[in-house]
Amino acid sequence: MKNFLISMLAVLALSCTNDYAREDSESNFKKKDANSKKNAGLNPENTANAYDIAGKIHNDLLDAYLSGNFSDQTISAISSKIDSISLLNSDLQNLPSYYPINFQEIQGIVDSPEMQLEQIIANSWMSTGSKNCLSEFMSLAALWQNSGYDAAYQSIISFEAAVANNQQFSAEEKRIILTSSAITRYSLYYASERKDKDWETSVGNRVGAVQGALSNSATAVTRSLLAGILSSNTTE
């Protein structure tokens, strides 16, 4: 499994790196791998990702929600709880305001996450290259979910270096991809810590992150949480 993931990462890195940036990206991979091995498995942080804060907020709010032992099952009730918790998080309040949630879209994610993810990315305004890059990353996330977190962490930060160094992606495309990858990285860490065993089976949170990231980082966090919590509830 480890060798397979490494091979898939190489393919992913090439798809997200252009000819002009490839040499610098490979150099960055080596430096980041060497520097991060000491911390891999200890925490999910990657300060090289400018949108890392989205992942941190995601886990902080998820902790707060699960600690409340709420029994709500409906989209509107869970959304209201997330809104209440969000008001107490200073990091989230420092981000641009998140957009109102379309409950029908969230339910669609819960019902058919893979199909919705494909449609969300295909219908976005992003370039073909950035769409392919994000799609391939999200496909690999399902494999990382079943591997050790150390390997997943190394793979994700290498991917993020490739995206950051890609000269063909616009600043907005990088923001969308790196926000989605940050939430994925932190979510996988949360699952690895076994803070909530059902959370590791949830695909909805990653799809919600992508959908929300098309608007802004705060929206990525709230939609990821809502879709993830609802998806987890359906497995209980």
Residue 190 or 22, more confident = 190
* Domain contains 12: no
Assigned domain for 184 exists: yes
Task: Write out pLDDT tens, residues 124-136.
Answer: 999 999 999 999 9
What's the domain range around 107?
Answer: 49-233
Mean local confidence (pLDDT), 99-107: 92
Does a structural domain hold residue 114?
A: yes
Higher pLDDT, 220 or 1: 220
The answer as to whether 43 is a domain residue is no
d(CA 24, CA 166): 10
Classify residue 140: in a domain, yes or no: yes
Residue 11 pLDDT more than 70?
no
The pLDDT tens digits for 31-53 are 444 444 444 446 899 999 999 99
pLDDT tens digit sequence for 189-232? 988 876 555 565 578 999 999 999 999 999 999 999 999 999 88
Residue 129 lies in a domain: yes
Percent of the chain beyond pLDDT 90? Answer: 60
The answer to whether residue 7 is domain-embedded is no
d(CA 68, CA 153): 29
Give me the pLDDT at residue 69, please.
83
pLDDT, greater one: 142 or 122: 122
Tally of domains within the chain: 1
- Kindly give the residue spans of alpha helices, DSSP state H, lying in the chain: 2-15, 22-36, 52-67, 75-86, 90-93, 103-111, 113-122, 128-144, 149-165, 171-192, 204-213, 217-233
Please report which confidence band the pLDDT of residue 21 belongs to, taking 50, 70 and 90 as the band edges: very low
Asked whether residue 116 is assigned to any structural domain, the reply reads yes
Q: pLDDT (tens digit, 9 = 90+) per residue, 223-236?
A: 999 999 998 876 55
Q: Which of 171, 184, 234 is nearest to 212 (CA)?
A: 184
pLDDT computed for residue 146 by the predictor: 73
